[in-house]
Structure 1
Amino acid sequence: MFKTILLPTDGSELAVKATEAAIRFAQVHGARIVSVCVAQPFPFVPATDNAVVPDADVFETQIAATAKAHINKIEIACATAGVPFEGIVVSSHTPYKEIVAAAEKYNCDIILMASHGRSGLSKLFLGSETQKVLAHTTLPVLVLR
């Protein structure tokens, strides 16, 4: 039933647990894993010429390298478990859109992702990429806590 699993990752502890579950899920279903890590571009544009800001190119290079490292860890875990794997890194200010787009592009049957379980005001103001994915995809989404 599930032949291609999309596994979004941000490298967090919960994402590592989701990776372990996704690998077991893939083994049971004889599926492959496509993992996506969204590197968010430099978030700040100075409004004045006198502003002192970090170097955006250095920031984006480091973020992309970190995202690639997260994907590499999943690739190694999948190879060890004998699970076919494809990893992608994309750059975007809207991770949920990239996750939904990757699921469509790679013909995924399910999205398996971690939930950070925010509550209270942080949930209200920050929202949740998981919640946004749930709202914008028609695929089944397995949320792990």
Structure 2
Amino acid sequence: MIFNKILIPVDDSKHSESAVSYGASLAEMSGGKLIILHCHRPVPTGLGEPNFQKAIDDATRESYAILKQKTAILKDKAVDYEEKIIGGSTAKSIKTVAETEGCDLIIMGSKGKSDLEGLVVGSVTHKVLHIAESPVLVIK
């Protein structure tokens, strides 16, 4: 199967490192492009200035640090990728980016929660599995 665009949402976990490594291998085999996405929490608009801008700057700085860490895995890989940062509801943002970018596949790391725990805790991977239009590959 050929994947033209693979979306890999990342956070600061080891599980998302595994997703990036696996996605890089798939992209190399199929000649596809990776989109490495970090979703940060929404920044409340009622903070007022300068607090609102500081919160945005902090979220952006943290997001770039996470992306830098994850894309370091791709340094020696022959794969095309781009980085994206978005704020908002994580699962909905992942779904939106996958649809907007026309992704063939979403690869996500799993923290190993059971179905019941995923429902109770509200795991992002669990939510994306249920709302995404494109296939989702979960990596442990």
Same fold (TM over 0.5): yes
Point out where structure 1 has 5 or more consecutive residues left out of the alignment: 47-54
Deviation at 1:22, TM superposition (A): 1.0
Q: TM-score, normalised by structure 1?
A: 0.81
Q: TM-score, normalised by structure 2?
A: 0.83
Q: Could you say which residue in structure 1 is the equivalent of 2:67? A: 71
Pairs aligned (count): 135
Q: What is the RMSD of the two structures over their aligned residues, measured on CA atoms?
A: 2.3
Q: Distance in 2 between matches of 1:65 and 1:34?
A: 19
Provide, for residues 28-49 of structure 1, a one-character-per-residue CA deviation record: whole Å limited to 9, x for no partner: 1111101110011346x79xxx
Point out where structure 2 has 5 or more consecutive residues left out of the alignment: none
Q: Could you say which residue in structure 2 is the equivalent of 1:37? A: 38
- Is it true that 1:62 corresponds to 2:58 in the alignment? yes
Provide, for residues 96-121 of structure 1, a one-character-per-residue CA deviation record: whole Å limited to 9, x for no partner: 11101111111110001111223487
Q: Relative to structure 2, which stretch is displaced further, 64-73 or 112-121? A: 112-121
Q: Relative to structure 2, which stretch is displaced further, 127-136 or 62-71? A: 62-71
**Larger-Rg structure:** 1
Q: Percent identity?
A: 27
Q: Distance in 2 between matches of 1:120 and 1:29?
A: 31
- Which amino acid in the other structure matches residue 78 of structure 2? G
The answer to whether the Cα contact below 8 Å between 2:5 and 2:34 also exists between their aligned partners in 1 is yes
